């Protein structure tokens, strides 16, 4: 099972890398999809991620540090000799590039691999530390306010899952309000045929962008642990 | 709406409906009516999709969707179908924990036939 543990970390890093490229927000730790992903995680990945991190909205984590972590995993697990060689070469190359990107990459090792399902404004979201999400407008929240979300329905880490019935007690998700804005406009067009009835209304729903900083307080809850 | 706005909304339409204002106006009005209706339909379709994906995920563990949801309701787990379908796709171990909880709360399925995984069958490359 040790090999599967390293295998799963490799899958985690490779799949995070692919998800970061798409700027998606899902935590990919699926064991079943591991075989096709390993060959994809090859030479161009670290370099391309470095460049897209300047352009993408969410902070792309798991670029250089993850590739270094996966180097160890790759050497342990994979009999493939091609993969480990280009990666140590590719890793030091992008580092002399723009300093802003280097700062972002240095924060990445602090990212804990944990997710939570939180209920905000009547809707449930899967939430990761460091990523942002748009929710319904939170009244009375100003920009750069720290917010604690208490309705945490599920917390998951790499090895354990805390399933709330219905809420994980004392669990809290800390977030910072980034922006109070509006959704893109939708045109509400009402029309009745042959009755000369036309109404054209534009609508922008207010929203709030919050960035998740951390997930705490779940440790004492009864958990389901993975036996591996 | 004036002509310019209508023709802007008519981009990508077929034939003269993207160029000629008289035809474009009709088509754009129809398109806007469809979008109004489909904003409501999208919610229904997404829920149906989530249910299908949860069903697929639970059947891999030998439980069908109905019994799974009944077990969750009994245990007072209030995760909605959107989150459950995401977990079933991306967090297989957490999802298995949920299925086990539901099975303990409501053991509904007898004569369980687990599907064989095609990944287990080796293919000569």
pLDDT of res. A54: 37
Instruction: Give the model confidence (pLDDT) of A50-60 as tens digits.
Output: 433 333 344 44
A/B interface, count of CB pairs below 8 Å: 78
Q: What is the four-CA torsion angle of B91, A14, A51, A59, rounded to 10 degrees? A: 30
The backbone torsions φ and ψ at residue A13, rounded to the nearest 5 degrees and listed phi first, read -70, -40
pLDDT at A148: 92
- My answer on whether B54 and B99 are in the same domain is yes
* B68 and B98 part of one domain: yes
pLDDT at A113 over 60: yes
- The predicted structure's pLDDT at residue B122: 67
Is B81 in a helix, a strand, or coil?
A: helix
Same domain, B25 and B57: no
A chain contacts of residue B94, beta-carbon cutoff 8 Å: 154, 156, 161, 163, 224
Crossing angle for the helix pair B81-90 and B21-59, to the nearest 10 degrees: 70
Q: Which CATH number goes with the domain that contains B98?
A: 1.10.1900.20
Which pLDDT does position A87 carry in this prediction?
44
The answer to pTM > 0.90 is no
Structure tokens at A201: 């209304």
User: Is residue B48 located within the same domain as residue B32?
Assistant: no
For residues B61 and B75, membership in a common domain is answered with yes
Which of residues 34 through 63 in chain B touch A, CB cutoff 8 A?
Answer: 35-36, 39
The pLDDT assigned to B19 comes to: 93
User: Is the CB of residue A74 less than 8 Å from the CB of residue A87?
Assistant: yes
**Residue A162's Cα: distance from chain center in Å?**
19
Q: Can you give the pLDDT at residue B46?
A: 96
Instruction: Note whether B21 and B61 are same-domain residues.
Output: no
Answer whether residue B108 is part of any domain.
no
Domain ranges of chain A: 114-224
Contacts of A222 in chain B (CB under 8 A): none
What's the pLDDT tens digit per position in A155-214? Answer: 998 888 888 888 888 899 999 999 999 999 999 999 999 999 999 999 999 999 999 999
B11 and B65 assigned to the same domain: no
Q: Which domain holds residue B21?
A: 1-39
B87 inside domain:
yes
Same domain for B54 and B7: no
Which has more pLDDT, B123 or A152? A152
- pLDDT tens by residue, B84-105: 999 999 989 899 999 999 998 8
Domain co-membership, B46 together with B25: no
Q: Is the pLDDT of residue A7 over 70?
A: no
Q: Check whether residue B31 and residue B49 sit in a common domain.
A: no
Strands (E), chain A: 114-120, 123-127, 132-136, 146-149, 152-157, 160-163, 172-182, 186-192, 197-203, 206-216, 224-225
Overall domain count for chain B:
2
- Which spans in chain A are helix H? 2-22, 34-40, 44-55, 64-77, 86-90, 99-107
**Complex ipTM over 0.85:** no
SS3 A165: coil
The alpha-carbon gap from A94 to the nearest alpha carbon of chain B, in Å, equals: 30
SS3 B32: helix
- B55 with B93, same domain: the answer is yes
Say if residue B20 is in the same domain as residue B58: no
Res. B52: pLDDT tops 50 = yes
């Amino acid at each position: 099972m040790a090999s599967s543990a390293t295998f799963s970390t490799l899958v985690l890093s490779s799949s995070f890398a692919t998800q970061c490229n798409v700027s998606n927000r899902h935590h990919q730790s699926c064991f079943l999809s591991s075989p096709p992903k390993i060959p994809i995680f090859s030479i161009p990945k670290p370099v391309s991620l470095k460049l897209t991190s300047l352009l993408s909205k969410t902070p792309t984590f798991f670029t250089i540090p993850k590739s270094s972590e996966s180097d160890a995993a790759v050497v342990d697990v994979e009999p493939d000799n091609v993969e480990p060689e280009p990666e140590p070469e590719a890793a030091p190359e992008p580092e002399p590039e723009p300093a802003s990107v280097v700062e972002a990459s240095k924060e990445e090792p602090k990212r804990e691999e944990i997710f939570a399902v939180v209920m905000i404004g009547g809707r449930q979201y899967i939430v990761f530390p460091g990523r942002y999400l748009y929710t319904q407008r939170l009244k009375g929240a100003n920009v750069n306010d720290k917010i604690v979300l208490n309705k945490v329905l599920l917390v998951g880490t790499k090895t354990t899952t805390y399933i709330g019935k219905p809420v994980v007690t004392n669990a809290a998700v800390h977030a910072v309000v980034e922006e109070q804005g509006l959704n893109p406009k939708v045109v509400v067009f009402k029309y009745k045929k042959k009755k000369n009835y036309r109404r054209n209304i534009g609508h922008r729903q207010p929203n709030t962008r919050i960035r998740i900083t951390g997930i705490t307080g779940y440790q004492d809850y009864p958990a389901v642990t993975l036996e591996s | 709406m004036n002509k310019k706005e209508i023709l802007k909304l008519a981009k990508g339409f077929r034939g003269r409906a993207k160029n000629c204002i008289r035809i474009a106006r009709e088509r754009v009005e129809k398109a806007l009516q469809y979008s109004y209706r489909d904003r409501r339909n999208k919610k229904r379709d997404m829920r149906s999709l989530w249910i299908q994906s949860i069903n697929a995920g639970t059947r891999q563990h030998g439980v069908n969707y109905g019994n799974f949801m009944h077990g969750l309701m009994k245990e007072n787990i209030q995760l909605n179908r959107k989150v459950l379908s995401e977990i079933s796709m991306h967090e297989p171990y957490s999802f298995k924990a949920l299925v086990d909880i539901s099975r303990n709360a409501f053991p509904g399925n007898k004569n369980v036939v687990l599907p064989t995984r095609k990944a287990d069958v080796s293919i000569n490359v």
